[in-house]
Structure 1
Amino acid sequence: MADPSRLERLRGLLAEGGHAAMYVSDLVNLRYLTGFTGSNGAALVPTEGEPLFLTDGRYRDQAAAELDAAGLGDVEIVITRDLIGVAAGRAPADLVAETHLLDVDSWQRLDRPEASGRLVERLREVKDETEVAALRRACEISCEALEALLVGPLVGRTEREVARDLEWRMLELGAEDKAFDTILASGEHTAIPHHSPTDRELRAGDLLKIDFGARFDGYHADCTRTVVLGPAADWQREIHAAVRESQAAGLDRLRPDVPVADANTAARASLEASGWIDAFTTGLGHGVGLQIHEDPFIGSAHPGRLVSRTVLTMEPGIYLPGRGGVRIEDTVLVTDPDHGGEPDVLTDLTKELLEID
């Protein structure tokens, strides 16, 4: 659910930049600011004065109800098929917009606004209590579903069957949907970072990599665990241990005021020390919230520092083509320094190498 304070914070950023108003057309940003969940809408947010909400007749009642639930019942709602036209007629000078989403015609009709500079995305990086609660619940559902799935039996079932089983368990536990298409890979398929489940049957001795999550109240969980079906081979134990150590090193850097790039450096240094850095071919982590991938993205070039109440993933891996791979991933809340600043792992599942019968 949205909160009026989000609009006020956006007004503050607009004022700092000397802008009179912002045209918001990204539906994820619109939901964040107003609570609206429909498929067609926009808002004109002035630095001073009341916002204007725009949608078409299909969402007349829904928009009124969702804005009222968000404490924005006094916001003017205009029902129109020409969102751009109405906004252009009401917009003041010094308008900014999400220009990366506008086609040239729309940009021209709005009188060529400046780019907003991802102002709303900056606000979304730091979660409020409502958002943290939704993320925490999404992660709880995910963990409970996976723990039940791993009771087994799994050998002899197909990747596709097991993936659908896991998704159904999340729905039964209260998820509104899966957070993304489940990545469930077995055997040599585990070397493919984003493998789509197939009809390959799970076999004794396989690595089984499961990257999944539930969505709750619009917020996404993201978690990966890799297990072995039966007793683990030495090489499987070795790469699992290396990934686990790398993830622990990265997690330890997810603290307030630590440079984002430090987490990347720490996790990669661990893999380099164990001799597996060349087998890590994906990104290390990303923000998660109303989108499964959102700012900030963990990388060596990130110029910023971590802020408390940011939620990110930490997901190193080792991928050996034709043989197998391991990834361990958690959704993590950067905590307030007044509470020690310890990373709060929301996907609270064991990271021991499980050997599943």
Structure 2
Amino acid sequence: YTTQARQEVQAQSICEYQVQLDGILEQVNQLGLQRIGFEADSLPYAMVERLRQKSPAGCEWQPESERLRSLRWTKDRDELSALEHAAAISAEAFEEILPLFRPGVLERDIALELEFAMRRLGAEEKSFDTIVASGQRGALPHGIASDKVIASGDLVTVDFGARWSGYHSDETVTVAVGPVSAKLRQIFDIVLEAHDRAMGAVRPGIPLRDIDDIARSYIAEHGYGDYFGHSLGHGVGLEVHEHPAVSAQSEVLAEEGMVITIEPGIYIPDLGGVRIEDMVYVTADGHRRITRLPKEFRLLPA
């Protein structure tokens, strides 16, 4: 375990204990700690209580989830480089398997080939279970790849990512396999414009809820407000879904160094759906797109 830990973790020292709590308590005693913050979102209550009971008198255990979240909001140069590399891997893999998008192919097979290509190109793992949702299944925001057969006239939404050096990419592309109906094309164009408007607004100091509102209002103005049911985006880093949320409820201002997603969508039951997603880095004077794939309407041969 210690050998593997040295390969995977950057740390001044690595200690191995038979009982996890013993290691934590030893560090508390050696360092003479009196006030210890912990991530309440992930540390079980029962473990915190055991630590409190076994800690020296006067030792205070304090939940610090919000502070720890904010420490991860902004990315340094090395983190940004890892995120960009992960995005480059996933983009190259997608373009490599794009010829598979044709009638008669299973959604599941596209997901498998995409995941294999990402691993072969250097990814440690896929970021999450790959979403491939075609035809009417496009109305499922989290339509994990199924045994559905792709048909001519389908829009196919693919939400995927790669993990590299511990950091994740997250990107969504919607493509057409053969000519699609006028309704589906209209929906695509609305989502793309909402995406582009929100992307263009990203800059330091803007409330994240305002970015969400830009995309949401545009979709609502075109009659599809009830069909966009999730937040516009989220942070990305060591976890594929991190704080801050880009949502109507957010009270956070965009900061230089943040990496967030912009991913509007429209999902209509019994018809299909569209989602378009990019990762964006907040720069000193605006933003820079991290994900690389084109988002314009792509008509593939059927």
Common fold: TM-score over 0.5 = yes
1:345 aligns with 2:289: yes
Aligned equivalents of 1:201, 1:66: Cα separation in 2: 40
CA contact 1:187–1:206 (8 Å) conserved in 2: yes
| 1:164 aligned residue (96, 99, 112) | 112
> Identical aligned pairs, as a percentage?
38
Within 5 Å, give how 1:146-157 maps onto structure 2. 146-152=94-100, 154-157=102-105
CA contact 1:134–1:216 (8 Å) conserved in 2: yes
Deviation at 1:86, TM superposition (A): 3.9
Match of residue 247 from structure 2: 299
Cα 1:318/1:153, change in 2 over 3 Å: closer
| Offset from partner CA, 1:257-312 (integer Å, 9 cap, x none) | 11111101111111122221111112210000110100111112211211111111
Structure 2: runs of 5+ lacking an equivalent: 53-59
Within 5 Å, give how 1:138-149 maps onto structure 2. 138-149=86-97
| Offset from partner CA, 1:225-254 (integer Å, 9 cap, x none) | 111111122111100000011111211222
Cα 1:101/1:221, change in 2 over 3 Å: closer
- Greater relative CO, 1 or 2 (CA 8 Å, sep 6+): 2
Match of residue 201 from structure 2: 253
Cα 1:115/1:273, change in 2 over 3 Å: same
Aligned equivalents of 2:179, 2:117: Cα separation in 1: 26
Match of residue 332 from structure 1: 280
CA contact 2:100–2:110 (8 Å) conserved in 1: no
Match of residue 62 from structure 1: 4
| Offset from partner CA, 1:155-174 (integer Å, 9 cap, x none) | 11111111111111111222
Match of residue 176 from structure 1: 124
Cα 1:236/1:64, change in 2 over 3 Å: closer
| Offset from partner CA, 1:50-76 (integer Å, 9 cap, x none) | xxxxxxxxx233345556xx3x44x4x
Match of residue 46 from structure 1: none
Structure 1: runs of 5+ lacking an equivalent: 1-58
Question: TM-score, normalization: structure 2?
Answer: 0.90
CA RMSD of superposed structures (Å) = 1.8
| Offset from partner CA, 1:155-209 (integer Å, 9 cap, x none) | 1111111111111111122211111110001110001110122211111111111
Secondary structure of the corresponding residue to residue 102 of structure 1? coil
318-327 or 152-161: which moved more? Answer: 152-161
Q: Post-superposition, which runs of at least 4 consecutive aligned residues in structure 1 deviate over 6 A?
A: none
Amino acid at match of 2:17: T
- Aligned residue pair count: 290
Within 5 Å, give how 1:1-357 maps onto structure 2. 59-64=1-6, 70=10, 72-73=11-12, 75=13, 77-91=14-28, 92-111=33-52, 113-152=61-100, 154-337=102-285, 341=286, 343-357=287-301
Deviation at 1:153, TM superposition (A): 5.3
Aligned equivalents of 2:42, 2:124: Cα separation in 1: 27
